[in-house]
Structure 1
């Protein structure tokens, strides 16, 4: 039975129906061309054939960051904040998040399809909320105030990635826990080769899942410990600050040109009214100095440096409390999963210790039985030696029919058997006194 088709499959759908829109062009340029799914801020998914150079130009990422997303290479769980993008490599989620779109590489993976649908649902809900706020006719201040409280685009996408990865690991841990407890209980009740093999497979899976969960937890802990890395993930704020700095530089240029025109007009009016050639020459000299290539350029350079420095300092001192709260929630979730796996690992270790104790106890019983059998064999050997002595062809009174009969024979055999039993009891008693036997 075929499952439901993912939202980016099924060509021929209109974009108004909420389906994907295919990009006709192929952007190559260096490296193999691969199929990427791009989800925009409105929640619309589109498929594009992009090469490595095209992705690098689109996201501003270096080639070493793109290698983290290569499904053919094995990289640990990683969340990297860059200037224009966030690189997320968590379990089956391999994506690039920018300020306005999300790029997914392994979109054909069945495990990724639910993530794409959930991401689209969240982005569409956010987009609908923004449209409703605009349609209600609220003023700009109210809209900006409400928008500041809402999560930016990159954090919504990052939250979807973290939730998908943490939920996947949590589900795998829950399934493993349900399989492990009955298998361990069955092994404690009956030790067999089949039960031991089943527990061995469960332990191998437990070690693998624990390592994966530990890597995700370490990555989140590393991000929470480094405010600079978290500040790099504020892509929307950095883009807005860059836009504001550009507008400030343009406004400074306009103000400067307007100031030059006003000074020029004042100089001309003053020269006409006072008819003072000297003042006219001075004002003209000032205008010439203002129009020289050094004055305004120096002012523009200083203004640009000031704006650039203020932008960098503001980026450096971003308030990361919003992202920190988001990461802490999933850190608690993944830490809880790790604690469950640790508890299960301890239960497996306790079961192994119990099995080893049981096996040692059985081995001790076997050794005790071996001691008793060896002692009995020694006593029987002594009795056999006595029988061998009587089987020799010798002439003694016991073999004379006139002097010895059946009573003597019975006393000899019975006495030897009784003596052997007495020796065996003495040997066992001595072993117990020495605590060699229970």
Structure 2
């Protein structure tokens, strides 16, 4: 009798431990990835996020699409993507989900692609990418594995830039600034763009599928009122309402970010580290000189972004603003498509009233 009791009593601790930890896929800024079983408190210490921000990523809780910029991390809850982006790594939940797997592959590919020409055995040294003065130099796009290469869903494909560096780490960015070299796209924005691209692509795909089903179904109902046709339209309307709400939320989230310069400035994680490292390694004479200069300008800068520190550093948000505006325009186009379907479908009376009308009553609603 004692052995069974002892065996059952030993089981609860592992269950509690398993419930407190989750499997995160960690993708570093070098493109390497591995799984880690990490608890909530470890993630909080690692990213500097409060518990309320982590709850947004809880798969059990249904939070709307949200992007949060914090001191050391960006929290992304966009459709199927639940991730934490830092200046050096991305932590992804539910990475084995079939919907998330293409996003993970795209992110790994893009980060690895930007570092594939990095000289081995060197730190802080860079080799410019020659012949990269095209759309992929600043925002390299990698199509999902289940799509053809000729389909490019990125709204940034016409953006050109030259001489982008291979390395995206804070140390590399600091070296580039000190050397007066070309601008290096921060790692966190590359990761954020993959998140936005994957989310917008999914919503666009679902919208196209719904369009292909909705218009023929409405045409059929216009020409012939039947129980089957009414059921099809009723089902399409339910999907339309749900999808419209999801797209609207993503659009509103991007609009809110674009309207708040402070929120955008907070998302420059690499630049924050660069600025901090520059302070740490600067000679004491330079620090004193900078401090004396800042004293004269402190009154003018008192109302500036909270991301500005004692050295007067303020990120140029144009880079992030351009990225967000591109995807805002894309999601706005998706929303307009859904609005057209919505207007057409709701031109009809409620489904329960359709049965009392004759075909002649619907001639005015005929879809061309």
Task: Determine if the alignment matches structure 1 residue 185 to structure 2 residue 173.
Answer: no
- Give the counterpart of 2:186 among 126, 135, 152: 152
CA shift, 1:106, in A, is 1.1
Instruction: Name the residue aligned to 1:332.
Output: 329
Structure 2: which 5+ residue stretches go unaligned?
1-15, 131-164, 166-174, 302-307, 362-368
Q: Which residue of 2 aligns with 1:278?
A: none
**CA 1:212–1:144: 2 relative to 1, 3 Å:** farther
Classify the secondary structure of the residue corresponding to 2:84.
strand
Please give the secondary structure, in 2, of the residue aligned with 1:36: strand
1:59 corresponds, among 44, 47, 51, to 47
Check conservation: 2:31, 2:111, Cα contact below 8 A: yes
How many residues were matched structurally? 288
| Alignment partner, residue 340 of structure 2 | 343
Aligned to 2:244: 210
**Any stretches of 5+ residues in structure 1 without a counterpart?**
1-27, 257-298, 365-438
Alignment of 1:281-430 (within 5 A): 312=309, 317-352=314-349, 359-360=356-357
Change (3 A) 1:357 1:117: closer
> How big is the shift at 1:313?
5.9
CA deviation digits over 1:220-273, x for unaligned, max 9? 00000000000000000000001111223xx218x99xxxxxxxxxxxxxxxxx
Distance 1:153 1:359, change over 3 A: same
Which protein is richer in helix relative to its size?
1
Residue matched to 1:289: none
TM-aligned CA deviation for residue 71 of structure 1: 0.2
1:82 equivalent in alignment to 2:79: no
Aligned match of 2:102: 114
Answer yes or no: is the 8 Å Cα contact 2:222–2:359 preserved in 1: no
**Does the residue aligned with 2:126 lie in a helix, a strand or coil?**
helix
Q: 1:53 to 1:166 in 2, by over 3 A?
A: same
Of residues 126, 137, 140 in structure 2, which corresponds to 1:134? 126
Contact residue 90 and residue 216 of structure 1 kept, 8 A: yes
Partners of 2:247 and 2:59 in 1: CA distance = 19
Determine if contact 1:238/1:315 at 8 Å carries over to the other structure: no
Q: Which one has a bigger Cα radius of gyration? A: 1
Report the TM-score when normalising by structure 1.
0.59
Match of 1:252 among 259, 269, 284: 284
Provide the rounded CA distance (Å) in 2 between the counterparts of 1:136 and 1:196. 61
> Residues 244 and 338 of structure 2 are in contact (CA less than 8 Å); yes or no, is this contact kept in structure 1?
yes
Where relative contact order (Cα < 8 A, 6+ residues apart) is larger, the structure is 2
Q: Residue 194 of structure 1 corresponds to which residue in structure 2?
A: 228
Question: In the aligned structure 2, how far is the partner of 1:362 from the partner of 1:65?
Answer: 54
Tell me, yes or no, if structure 1 residue 240 matches structure 2 residue 240.
no
Is the contact made by 1:79 and 1:88 (CA closer than 8 Å) also made in structure 2?
A: yes
Q: Is the 8 A contact 2:86 2:188 kept in 1?
A: yes
Alpha-carbon distance in structure 1 between the residues aligned to 2:45 and 2:61: 22
Take 2:312 and 2:353, find their aligned partners in 1: how far apart are those partners? 59
1:46 alignment partner, SS class: strand
Partner Cα distance (1:222, 1:95) in 2: 20
Distance in 2 of aligned mates of 1:93 and 1:82: 18
User: Which residue of structure 1 lines up, in the alignment, with residue 145 of structure 2?
Assistant: none
Check whether the contact 1:29–1:54 (CA below 8 A) recurs between aligned residues. Answer: no
Give the distance between the partners of 1:321 and 1:187, measured in 2 at CA: 49
Q: In the alignment, what sits opposite 1:69?
A: 57
Is 1:227 the counterpart of 2:215? The answer is no
* 1:81 Cα offset (Å): 0.3
Partner SS, residue 47 of structure 1: strand
Give the superposition deviation at 1:143.
Answer: 10
Secondary structure at the residue paired with 2:24?
Answer: strand
Normalized against structure 2, the TM-score is what? Answer: 0.70
